[in-house]
Amino acid sequence: MLSAYDQIVAETRVGIPAQLQPLFTTNVDNLRSALQTSQVAYVDVSRDASELNDTAVENDDHYANFAVARLDKIRNGDADATVAFRDLSLSEVVETLVLGMYSFTVPLDIAARSMPSIGPIPGIGTAAGGTPLIGGYLTIGYLAKLPLQYGSQGIKQLADNLQGNLTAGCYTGDAAPADGDRLTHGGAAPVVPVQPAEQGNAAYLALGDTATCTTGDAETFGAALDRVAEGMRGQVPAGQEGAFDAEVVRLKSNARTAQVTNNFIMKEPEDLNPVLAMVDNPMVTFAWGAVQGAFDGTAGQSTAVADLTVGNGIDYATVAEALTSLIAGEIWGTVTAPTNVSYPVGNLLGGTPTVKAYSTVPDVTAAASYLTTESLDVYDHTLQSLCIAGTEGSRDAGDAR
């Protein structure tokens, strides 16, 4: 890392005015000295998608990259390890920096999503308030959230450009040491403490070639039930093993008996209709697949719940979240006592006055929906990028999971 740092500094120094060179040199030397002695928790360091696997590259999710790299380190016994900053690779430093920049956009996105309509834009908004489509956007709130949205997009674009420019350079010097040579175990104080749930996930998920293994999202509910039951059996109080086993048998029987018609199993939008990928609405995709099933024959077929995958479960959770958000938004819009304004403009088909509601109360349901949706996406991408331990090489590349 320090070799790349020195070369970047040398390239930057060329563009620094002569009168600022002394100040530049002082700051650069102080930062280099700090980097030389700094130690960081290894699990706080992210990893570039290209160093994980092809699935991570395809998903292009910096949050998932961090989660995958973190679980891999925990699985390898490095949960309490520290590493000297000088021993990190440039790609590790840049990916972690990009993750931080992306995280900075979360408050901006939440503020934009929860921005209330407030009221019509004086003059413009009042004239078009009752016009379908147009009137719904011409509000004070709409203008107020534009800087937040563009600010978030700008920071993300800046982060991606920074990563592309830095990692595309050719730097001389030694490569980062191997983990066995650079890690010191014990004493780590990660910014995000390692949770018991992460330890449990790291025990059955491994980083590998997702083209030749069963990925985390492809594990069936039946297999997951077996795995969880096996892991819990050792914690069952003495004398209760029989009751525990009976309950597991009952759950497995119910999962095998319960059936879901195949048209209600969520499909990828692009597999149904390219337009759905542009709409990007899970409820629309789910409804489209359900209706299409009446024509393609899947409505007459069914799958046992035990044979559904964890990925199917995440799909159902995404649809449920979208529906819940829609209902909660309607309720929230009612209880926040919006201001109603009657417009003589009417609709496009006639002159009937249109009443539009405005609110000055932030939409907390939209903020909650944003956080839940993003979390589900990251969780899905994380599972897609990890293998069920022991399944590596269990299938040929290209085979359906």
Can you tell me the mean pLDDT for 96-100? 86
What does the pLDDT read at residue 128?
54
Q: What are phi and psi of 240, to 5 degrees?
A: -105, 5
Look at residues 218, 253, 249, 256 and name the one whose alpha carbon lies nearest to residue 233: 249
CA dist., res. 290 & res. 392, Å (int): 34
Query: Does position 124 have pLDDT exceeding 50, yes or no?
Result: yes
Instruction: Place 331 in a pLDDT band, splitting at 50, 70 and 90.
Output: confident
Q: Please write the tens of the pLDDT for every residue from 225-258.
A: 988 888 888 888 888 888 888 998 999 999 999 9
CA dist., res. 222 & res. 313, Å (int): 12
- First-to-last alpha carbon distance for the chain, in angstroms, is 39
Can you tell me the mean pLDDT for 375-391? 92
What does the pLDDT read at residue 383?
94
CA dist., res. 214 & res. 202, Å (int): 15
Can you tell me the mean pLDDT for 11-27? 71
Can you tell me the mean pLDDT for 28-36? 65
What does the pLDDT read at residue 220?
92
185's enclosing H/E stretch is strand 183-185
Query: Does position 62 have pLDDT exceeding 70, yes or no?
Result: yes
Can you tell me the mean pLDDT for 282-302? 87
- Count Cβ atoms below 10 Å from residue 95 Cβ, excluding itself: 24
Q: Which is more confidently placed, 127 or 148?
A: 148
Q: Please write the tens of the pLDDT for every residue from 83-92.
A: 888 888 888 8
Q: Which is more confidently placed, 167 or 224?
A: 224
Instruction: Place 36 in a pLDDT band, splitting at 50, 70 and 90.
Output: low
What does the pLDDT read at residue 346?
47
DSSP secondary structure code for residue 216 in this structure: G
Query: Does position 192 have pLDDT exceeding 70, yes or no?
Result: yes
Query: Is residue 345 a contact partner of residue 132, using CB atoms and an 8 Å limit?
Result: no
Query: Does position 214 have pLDDT exceeding 70, yes or no?
Result: yes
User: CA gyration radius for the chain?
Assistant: 27
Q: What is the dihedral of CA 361, 363, 368, 371, to 10 degrees?
A: -110
- Count Cβ atoms below 10 Å from residue 9 Cβ, excluding itself: 17
Instruction: Place 386 in a pLDDT band, splitting at 50, 70 and 90.
Output: very high
Spell out a b/e string for 27-54, using b for 16 or more CB atoms within 10 Å of the CB, else e.
ebeeeeeebeeeebbbbbbbbbbebbbe
Supply the pTM of this predicted model: 0.82
Query: Does position 72 have pLDDT exceeding 70, yes or no?
Result: yes
3-state secondary structure of 73: helix
Q: What share of the chain is helix, strand, coil (3-state, %, to 5)?
A: 60, 10, 30
Q: Which is more confidently placed, 184 or 14?
A: 184
Dihedral sign, CA of 329, 334, 335, 339? positive
CA dist., res. 224 & res. 331, Å (int): 37
Look at residues 63, 62, 71, 64 and name the one whose alpha carbon lies nearest to residue 42: 71
Q: Which is more confidently placed, 348 or 314?
A: 314
- Count Cβ atoms below 10 Å from residue 259 Cβ, excluding itself: 13
CA dist., res. 191 & res. 179, Å (int): 20
362's enclosing H/E stretch is none
Can you tell me the mean pLDDT for 133-148? 76
Concatenated DSSP letters for 117-163?
Answer: --SBPTTHHHHHTTSTTHHHH-BHHHHHHHHHHHHHHHHHHHHHHHH
Domain residue limits, the chain: 1-37
DSSP secondary structure code for residue 237 in this structure: P
Query: Is residue 83 a contact partner of residue 39, using CB atoms and an 8 Å limit?
Result: yes
Query: Is residue 205 a contact partner of residue 75, using CB atoms and an 8 Å limit?
Result: yes
Query: Does position 363 have pLDDT exceeding 60, yes or no?
Result: yes
Q: Percentage of residues in the chain with pLDDT exceeding 70?
A: 81
Residues 6+ apart with CB under 8 A from 96: 44, 45, 46, 66
Q: Which is more confidently placed, 263 or 356?
A: 263
3-state secondary structure of 353: coil
What does the pLDDT read at residue 348?
47
Q: Percentage of residues in the chain with pLDDT exceeding 90?
A: 26
Query: Does position 136 have pLDDT exceeding 80, yes or no?
Result: no
Query: Does position 298 have pLDDT exceeding 70, yes or no?
Result: yes
CA dist., res. 289 & res. 319, Å (int): 13
